[in-house]
Structure 1
Amino acid sequence: MKKIAIIGSGAAGMFAAYRLLQQSTVPKFRITIIDTGRDVEKRRCVRQLGGKDCVRCDPCHILCGVGGAGTFSSGILNLHPKIGGDWSEFCESDRHAQKLIDYVDETFLKFGAPIEKYTPSQQVKDDLCLKAAGAGIHLIPINQRLMGTENTPDVITKMKDYLQDRGVKFELHTEVENIHKDHLICSTRKNPSSKLEIPYDLCLGAPGRYGLHWMSQELEKLGVETQYDSLDIGVRVEVPSSIMKPICTLIRDPKFHIFTKTYDDFVRTFCTNHEGEVVQEVYENDLVGVNGISYIEEDLLTENSNFAFLVRIALTEPLEDTTAYGRSIASQFSILGGKKPIIQRLGDLRGGQRTTWKRLARSSVTPTLKHITPGDISMAMPHRIVTDILEGLDSLNKVIPGVNSKNTLLYAPEVKFSSKKVLTDKSLQTSQKGLYVAGDGAGLTRGIVGAAVTGVLVADGMLKEHF
Structure 2
Amino acid sequence: MSLKKHYDVAIIGGGIGGIMTAYRLVESNPQMKVLIMEKGHAIRQRHCPIVTGKVEKCIKCSSCAIMEGMAGAGAFSDGKYVISTEYGGWLTEFLEPQTVIHYIEQADEVLVKFGATTDRFMPNDDLKRLCLQHDLHMSQAQLKHLGTDSNFDTMRKLIEYLEDKVDIAVDTEATDVNKDTKEIHLIHKGEKDVITADKIIFAVGRVGSRFFSDWCEKNNIPLKNNQVDIGVRVELPAMVWDHFSKKIYEPKIWYRSKQYGDTTRMFCFNERGHVVTENTGGVLTVNGHSYRDQARKTENSNFALLSTIRFTEPFKKPIEYARYVASLANLICGGGVMVQRLGDLEIGRRSDESRIRKSTTRPTLHAVAGDLSLCMPKRQLDNIIETLHALDKIAPGTANYDTLLYGIECKYYSARPKCTEFQLDDCPGLYAIGDGAGFTRSLSQAAANGMYVADKILGK
Fold in common (TM above 0.5):
yes
Report how far residue 201 of structure 1 moved. Answer: 0.9
- Tell me the equivalent position of 1:130: 129
8 Å CA contact 2:57–2:336 kept in 1: the answer is no
Residue 310 of structure 1 aligns to a residue whose secondary structure is strand
- AA at the equivalent of 2:71: G
Mapping 1:117-196, distance limit 5 Å: 117-120=120-123, 125-166=124-165, 168-181=166-179, 182-189=182-189, 191=190, 194-196=191-193
Counterpart code for 2:74: G
Identify the residue that residue 263 of structure 2 maps to in structure 1: 266
Q: Which residue in 1 is equivalent to 2:3?
A: none
Distance in 2 between the 1:44 and 1:450 partners? 26
Q: Could you say if the C-alpha distance between residues 33 and 306 of structure 1 is closer, same or farther in structure 2, counting changes exceeding 3 Å?
A: same
Query: Is 2:324 the partner of 1:321?
Result: no
Distance (Å, rounded) in 2 between the aligned partners of 1:350 and 1:435: 50
Aligned CA distance change for structure 1 residues 398 and 50 (closer, same or farther; 3 Å) = farther
Give 1:32-431 correspondences, 5 Å limit. 32-37=35-40, 46-47=50-51, 65-91=69-95, 93-120=96-123, 125-166=124-165, 168-181=166-179, 182-189=182-189, 191=190, 194-284=191-281, 286-370=282-366, 372-431=367-426
Instruction: Please tell me the root mean square deviation across aligned C-alpha atoms, in Å.
Output: 2.4
CA distance in 2 between partners of 1:424 and 1:44 (Å): 37
**In 2, Cα distance between the equivalents of 1:169 and 1:20?**
13
User: Displacement, 1:441?
Assistant: 0.5
Q: Hey, what's the Cα distance between the residues in 1 that align with 2:302 and 2:382?
A: 20
- For 2:61, the equivalent position in structure 1 comes to none
Match of 1:449 among 440, 444, 447: 444
Secondary structure of the residue aligned to 2:247 is: coil
- CA offsets 1:354-396 (integer angstroms, 9 cap, x no match): 00011111110000001x1100001000000000101111111
Preserved contact between residue 37 and residue 172 of structure 2 (Cα < 8 Å): yes
User: Residue 44 of structure 1 contacts residue 281 of structure 1 at CA under 8 Å; is this kept in 2?
Assistant: no
* 3-state DSSP of counterpart to 1:210: coil
> Which residue is 1:23 aligned to?
28
Deviation, structure 1 residue 430: 3.8
- Matched position secondary structure for 1:187: strand
Residue 53 (structure 1) shift: 13
**CA separation in 2, counterparts of 1:19 and 1:360?**
50
**Distance change >3 Å, CA 396–CA 134, structure 1 → 2:** same
What amino acid sits opposite 1:74 in the alignment?
A: D
* Structure 2: distance between partners of 1:322 and 1:43: 31
Cα drift, residue 315 of structure 1: 0.8
Q: Which runs of 5+ in 1 are unaligned?
A: 55-59
User: Quick one: distance in 1 between partners of 2:203 and 2:308?
Assistant: 23
* Aligned length, in residue pairs: 447
CA distance in 1, matches of 2:102, 2:46: 36
Q: In the superposition, relative to structure 1, how do residues 52 and 154 fare at CA in structure 2: closer, same or farther (>3 Å)?
A: farther
Question: How many angstroms does 1:88 deviate by?
Answer: 1.9
Q: Secondary structure at the match of 1:136?
A: coil
Question: Partner of 1:282: helix, strand, or coil?
Answer: strand
- Measured against aligned partners, the alpha-carbon deviations of 1:53-94 in whole angstroms (never above 9, x if no partner) come to 99xxxxx98x98110102212111111112111112222x32
Counterparts of 1:412 and 1:429, CA distance in 2 = 36
| Unpaired stretches in structure 2, ≥5 consecutive residues | 1-5, 59-63
Contact map agreement 2:423 2:429 (CA 8 A) in 1: no
Q: Report the identity percentage.
A: 34
From the superposition, tell whether residues 162 and 408 of structure 1 become closer, same or farther in structure 2 (CA, over 3 Å).
Answer: same
Distance 1:275 1:405 in 2: 18
1:97 shift after superposition:
1.7
Q: Deviations along 1:310-344, whole A, 9 cap, x unmatched?
A: 11111112322101111110110110011111000
> Which deviations, in whole Å up to 9, do the C-alpha atoms of 1:189-221 show, x marking residues without a partner?
4x2xx3111211100001100010111111222
8 Å contact kept, 1:419–1:442: yes
Are 2:3 and 1:6 aligned? no
Tell me how far 1:44 sits from its aligned partner. Answer: 5.6
Q: Specify whether residues 179 and 339 from structure 1 end up closer, same or farther in structure 2 by C-alpha distance, changes over 3 A only.
A: same
Does structure 2 retain, via aligned residues, the 8 Å contact 1:428–1:438? no
In structure 2, distance between residues paired with 1:39 and 1:373: 31
**CA deviation map 1:212-267 (0-9, x unaligned):** 01111112222222111110111000000111211100111111011111111111
Q: Residue 48 of structure 1: CA displacement?
A: 7.6
2:363 is matched by which residue type in structure 1? P
Cα deviation for residue 424 of structure 1 reads 1.2
When residues 39 and 427 of structure 1 are mapped into structure 2, their CA distance, relative to the original with a 3 A threshold, is: closer
TM-score (normalised: structure 2): 0.92
CA deviations 1:18-59 (Å, max 9, x no partner) are 1112333x62x31000001159999966238797999xxxxx
